[in-house]
Structure 1
Amino acid sequence: MSRLSWSIASAFLILFNNVLASESDLLVKLNHGGSLIGTSLKSSSGRQIRSFLGIPFAKPPVGELRFKSPVPFPPWQGERNATESGSKCFQTNFFVENAVEGSEDCLFLNVFTPPVYRIPKGGLPVMVYIHGGGWFCGYNDHHFYSPEFIMDKDVILVVTNYRVGVLGFLSSETLDCPGNFGLKDQVEALRWVKEHISSFGGDPKSVTIFGGSAGGASVTYLMQSKTTEGLIHKAIPQSGTMFSQWALPLHKGLARKTARNLASLVNCDNEEGDWRNIIECIKNVDGSVLTAKSVELSEWNGFPYFVVQPVVEPSHPESFLDEYSREVSMSSLDIPLLAGMTSGEGLMATTGLLSNEKLLNEVKDDISKKFPLMLGYDHWDEDKQKTITKELENFYFKNGHNYNIKDHKNFTDMFTDSMFLYGFDDYLKSRLSAKAAPTYVYIFDMKTEHSLSKLVGGGDNYLGVCHGEDMQFIFPLHKIVFGETSDLKGNSLIMKEVMLELLVNFASYGNPTPPGSRFITWEPATKHPWNYARIGSIDGDGFQILKNEQDYASDRFKFWRSLKPHNDANNNQYKNKIEL
């Protein structure tokens, strides 16, 4: 054989062996004996991503399993294809009016890992992402929550579905339909991770849960629930906590009222309020119909945004949360925490109003009705609502209601503080008042060419760092939102590397800037008022990566602590435990 022939044969043999190795890498045997056949994707730098998609972790919650706790998916024999993401859970499309998408057979998760040769003997840290969507939408599809950014790092990524909307969070506040089914799905996914992630090269003793918006609130709920003991080792809640005004019904009976309203919409209500028969009737209504009808539970322009949410359940063996979290000691204080939010969270709510003159005038002409509805204090009596509204006007609108798309900071700050910042501060205050594990706090203040405020109504106007803006540096969401040809450039490309390194460092070491980090030391918060790291800069010419700061919006925190508009109305307090 000539030297050329030998070289060609050797090259072919190497290529053939690599193909065989790659195929064997994509076959994973789970601890129950069944196997998964995955597929290969590429990270943004061209690294191989071993991808296992559409893995069922619980039985389809249909028929008698609707409005029940998830049941673990049974073991199987032989090989199962895992090359496509499973269906999203039934939900309305946020951008298409009255469009219902998905299925009730939706309890799937996706697992992404580096190539086998990059996985050490002890396994890699595991990061489990819980999507947001206001409890009514969101899903784990690998095109939307693509792993291509995170999998440039040596971690295992898991992205899970959970039931949303009325199928995930409807509650009669009785054992007939106790609620929190979506949160219980998240727990079941974490149990699956503990049992099986070692088969993929993950370390089940190093699991970090992270999520944004309702996903962030879910992270803190999972930390608080007794059902997650031993499942969580670090946590990253972003733009949401269980103290956010939208994360729990504002008083006992509100969830029950919502359930009665839905029952009436589908002809399942009865005069006696017999919940057993009401829920049995609702179980026979198609899931897509229930989801479509739930849109009618909002009152004006989609407000309130959150018509269903987590609840305090009656105490029973399967309860996720049976105590009002503001009235009991905070759990999981031994778990290191990295919590953050953007500087303009309220743009999620205000951009659509500011860009629609008719809607904006409706707000200005009727603030006595619109403010309580939009800002979550319409559960008070009329006199109390008027008092709160007057206080808000005195604090935010000293110069009158002259806000518009060119001058909106006071208007947007009011929504930011009501929906996000007050609850964020309250959560940190509770945690830091006790002896807690290291707690890192950030304010994301990065101006980017792919501003989400432009998508939801800003057009060519740059309005600020919108809710969810930090997530596009962790997942390539800009490609979904602005098109495949869009890309991060300049400072945004630098920020992607910054965010990934900080979060993966935290998942690996419990510290975003461990010894040897290329960044300045991010100082943990130790007391209230909390210190924080400002990440990025709203001024593109004065770009900064990370800066330790103190006293963020302290005057606004003080105002909201005195106002307390989201506390329960008189004589209707939540008790530590809901009575049957």
Structure 2
Amino acid sequence: MKENLRWIVFVLAANVMICQKLVITKRGPIVGQKEDGYYTFLGVPYALVNEENPFGASSEYPKFDEAFNASDPDVKCPQILMNEGGVIQCLTLNIYVPKIALKESVPVFVWFYGGGYVFGSAGLYHGKLLVKKDIIVVTVNYRLGPYGFLCLDDPRVPGNQGLKDQADALKWINENIGAFGGDNEEITIAGESYGGGSVDLHLYSKYPTYFNKAIIQSGAAEARRMFVKPDYSAAIKLANHLGSTNSTTNDDSIKFLKQVDPLTVMKGASKLGMVLTVCKEKRYESVRNFITDDQFHLRNPFRIKNTPIMIGYNSKEAFDTFANKSEEVYQKASTFIYDNFKEIFDLKEDALVRLTNIVHSYYMGGKPFDSNAMLELIDMSGDFILNRAIESSVTRFIEQGAKKVYKYLFSYIGGSIYENITGVGAYHTEELQYLFHSVSPGKKFTAEQKIMRNRMTTMWSNFVKYGNPTPNVTDLLPVEWLPITSEGSRVYLNIDLDMSMKDQLYHKRIAFWDLFWSSYWKKAKMVTKKCRTKCAS
């Protein structure tokens, strides 16, 4: 009986060893899991949040004395939208490693999720599809809401901590990915929506360059609400809202808020209507800044010249906002431009009304705000929120000497729930299902969608490997994707079943907003009075 028990224990232990993978990093041993053709290392900590000041700088995670069991894909930072939950010690990575990395060094793809800096997690983006293209995939958790983007007139909380978390993750990857078979000289950073905007900002940050390629999907530094004018009293307001009776300073507020349940803090910020995103940081001695410029004055020509960039957006970014929605949604849209102008600009009421009417006239042509104007409203809101901002990023890259800028428009609607609506286009986030494996039960792809998925993952992984999404024309990739080579060029790849190179996407609409912003950027509340008179546009 004892011999049988020993044999059973031996077999079970052997099976465990076969199904696991041990790597020895500079931070200590990490145990991952064997999957179908690749390995996973999930929930690997890269930094430690200071619980005495969870809104400020993190520190290096302590070395592992024993093998770290990297098997938790669901770690996430505190959040209350979509999927409420999260923990303070959330700075982790999910790492997907192809088998080939056991034999040779492979390039690395690092993903920053979107979600408006209020929701999202590394676990939402399963790397199964991309890792099978022989690249390492790393998805990054970073702090959100007040924990990631409280921006105070205080060196302890100077702002943009969520972006600094991303930079800390890149440092960890640079130092440790070699243990997984990754090439730390071939690291591509990528993201979508605010994650894409984060990538845009990493191209200009004050931090070291831990990457050599960038992919920006449906995001940009100048996107709506990507930057905000900081409220230096936000911590005090939040503490008092949550029941503090003596929070009159940042010190009082931080001491109070660190003891409050993180989800309560997130709910409090939401209740107060706080918009906590990227800020123009103040400079302090002994404090490393991420960004000290506003979105109109970002410069780093050396980094731009040496970084191949892929950037683009979807054909109807705002389609999901209006399709099949009630007439109440359309009525609310009648104040969308005015409300945003009022939030963004220091302008008198008559100027706000006049400019709003000009925009409405250009897009609506006198149509009332109802469902008959769905396509016009989709274009207006999509251009204002995102499309023009992305085109502005492209212009900035070219002006600062970028050698390779691959621009795209994702137009495929074969998997859209709105496929049968007249004028349908690909909406915000629609391309993600063709890059990341869906863990939704019952999710099935048609043969056509599988072709699109293979096409997308091949182009993205080609860019990670070679800095060129179409190094060879094939049956799968029948068109050579040409980069933008001059300021006057705006060539882009239309990504659909029928691939084609085109030029000057939405050029009249983009020119309208370019003219607007060139006239009014100095009136933006983000821009300091000093900069309005001395800064170049």
TM-score range, shorter chain: 0.7 to 0.9
SS at match of 2:409: strand
Query: What is the correspondence of 1:91-490 to structure 2 with a 5 Å cutoff?
Result: 91-94=79-82, 100-115=84-99, 118-119=100-101, 122-141=104-123, 144-229=124-209, 231-249=210-228, 252=229, 254-256=230-232, 258-259=234-235, 261-268=237-244, 274-298=249-273, 307-316=275-284, 317-331=287-301, 332-333=303-304, 334-351=306-323, 355-364=325-334, 367=335, 370-374=336-340, 377-381=343-347, 382-404=349-371, 407-451=373-417, 463-477=424-438, 479-480=439-440, 484-490=441-447
Q: Structure 2 counterpart of 1:40, which letter?
A: K
1:87 paired residue number: 75
Aligned-pair CA distance for 1:56: 0.6
For residues 220 and 329 of structure 2, the distance between their equivalents in structure 1, rounded to whole angstroms, comes to: 29
1:376 is displaced (CA, Å) by: 7.1
Structure 1 residues 19 and 264, CA, compared in 2 at 3 Å: closer, same or farther?
A: closer
Q: Is the 8 A contact 2:52 2:255 kept in 1?
A: no
The alignment partner of 1:211 has SS state of: strand
| 1:128/1:282 CA distance change after superposition, 3 Å | same
In the alignment, what sits opposite 2:461? Answer: 504
Give, in angstroms, the shift of residue 374 of structure 1.
Answer: 4.8
CA contact (8 A) 1:350 1:415 kept: no
Deviates more, 1:499-508 or 1:79-88: 79-88
Instruction: State the Cα distance separating 1:65 from its structure 2 match.
Output: 3.5
Residue 307 of structure 2 aligns to a residue whose secondary structure is coil
Matched, 1:69 2:57: yes
Do the aligned partners of 1:88 and 1:139 also contact (CA within 8 Å) in 2?
yes
Q: Which residue is 1:573 aligned to?
A: 527
2:34 matched to which residue of 1? Answer: 40
- Corresponding position: 1:52 with 2:41: yes
Q: Does the CA contact (< 8 Å) of 2:96 and 2:128 recur in 1?
A: no
Q: Tell me, yes or no, if the aligned pair for 1:258 and 1:297 is still in contact at 8 Å.
A: no
Q: Aligned AA for 2:296? A: R
Q: Distance in 1 between matches of 2:224 and 2:58?
A: 27
- 8 Å CA contact 1:388–1:563 kept in 2: the answer is no
Question: 1-side partners of 2:204 and 2:269: how far apart?
Answer: 28
Cα separation, 2, equivalents of 1:327 and 1:362: 33
1:277 corresponds to which letter in structure 2?
A: D
CA distance in 2, matches of 1:536, 1:314: 41
The letter of the residue matching 1:37 is: V
Matched residue SS, 1:104:
coil
TM-superposed CA distance for 1:294, in Å, is: 1.9
Gaps in structure 2 of 5+ consecutive residues: 1-10, 533-537
Give per-residue Cα distances to partners, 1:54-82, cap 9 Å, x unaligned: 101111x2521411112110112221111
Paired with 2:108 and 2:212, the residues of 1 have a C-alpha distance of 10
Percent identical residues: 25
CA displacement 1:439-469 (0-9 Å, x = unmatched): 1000100112244x69xxxx98884311011
1:403, CA displacement in angstroms? 3.6
Q: Would you say the 8 A contact 2:152–2:231 is kept in 1?
A: yes
Aligned match of 1:559 = 512
* Aligned residues of 2:205 and 2:290 also touching (Cα < 8 A): yes
- C-alpha contact 2:309 2:405 (8 A) present in aligned 1: yes
Q: 1:571 to 1:509 in 2, by over 3 A?
A: closer
User: CA 1:133–1:488 in 2, change beyond 3 Å: closer, same or farther?
Assistant: same
Aligned to 1:11: none
* Other-structure match for 1:3: none
Cα distance in structure 2, aligned partners of 1:566 and 1:287? 39
The alpha carbon displacement at 1:371 in A equals 2.8
Counterpart secondary structure, 1:194: helix
The amino acid of 1:393's aligned partner reads H
- The DSSP-based 3-state class of the residue aligned with 1:440 is strand
TM-score under structure 1 length normalisation = 0.82
Partner of 2:35: helix, strand, or coil? strand
Cα–Cα, structure 1 residues 248 and 570, in superposed 2: closer, same or farther, change >3 Å? closer
Secondary structure, aligned partner of 1:312: coil
Aligned to 1:494: 451
Report the alpha carbon displacement of residue 269 of structure 1 after superposing the two structures with TM. 8.6
Shift of 1:266: 2.2
Distance 1:100 1:436, change over 3 A: same
CA distance in 1, matches of 2:386, 2:114: 14
Secondary structure, aligned partner of 2:509? helix
User: Counterparts of 1:109 and 1:260 in 2: how far apart (Å)?
Assistant: 32
Give SS of 1:168's match.
helix
CA distance in 1, matches of 2:423, 2:443: 18
1:535 aligns with 2:535: no
The 3-state SS of whatever aligns with 2:481 is coil
Structure 1 residues 348 and 136, CA gap change in structure 2 (3 angstroms): farther
Q: Distance in 2 between matches of 1:187 and 1:347?
A: 33
Q: Distance in 1 between matches of 2:76 and 2:307?
A: 30
Secondary structure, in 3 states, of the residue corresponding to 1:64? Answer: coil
- AA partner of residue 26 (structure 1): K
Q: Measure the CA separation in 1 of the matches of 2:215 and 2:341.
A: 26
Distance 1:568 1:349 in 2: 30
* Counterpart position of 2:7: none
Tell me: CA distance 1:173–1:412, structure 2 relative to 1, closer, same or farther (3 Å): farther
Residues 90 and 288, structure 1, Cα contact 8 Å, conserved in 2: yes
Q: Which residue of 1 aligns with 2:26?
A: 31
Q: Distance in 2 between matches of 1:197 and 1:26?
A: 15
C-alpha separation in 2, matches of 1:213 and 1:177? 25
Q: Deviations over 1:309-352 (max 9, x none)?
A: 1111111332111222422424421110000110111235445x
Instruction: Supply the distance in 2 between the matched residues of 1:473 and 1:376 (Cα, whole angstroms).
Output: 38
The total of aligned residue pairs comes to 513
> 1:4 maps to which residue?
none
- 3-state DSSP class of the match of 2:203? helix
Could you list the runs of 5+ residues in structure 1 that have no partner in the other structure?
1-14, 43-47, 299-305, 538-542
Equivalent residues of 1:443, 1:532 under 8 A apart: no
**CA distance change for structure 1 residues 469 and 257 in 2, over 3 Å: closer, same or farther?**
farther
User: Against the structure 1 CA distance between its residues 362 and 242, is the aligned structure 2 distance closer, same or farther, given a 3 Å change threshold?
Assistant: closer
Q: What residue identity is the alignment partner of 1:206?
A: E
User: Residues 297 and 228 of structure 1: is their aligned pair in 2 closer, same or farther, counting only changes over 3 Å?
Assistant: farther
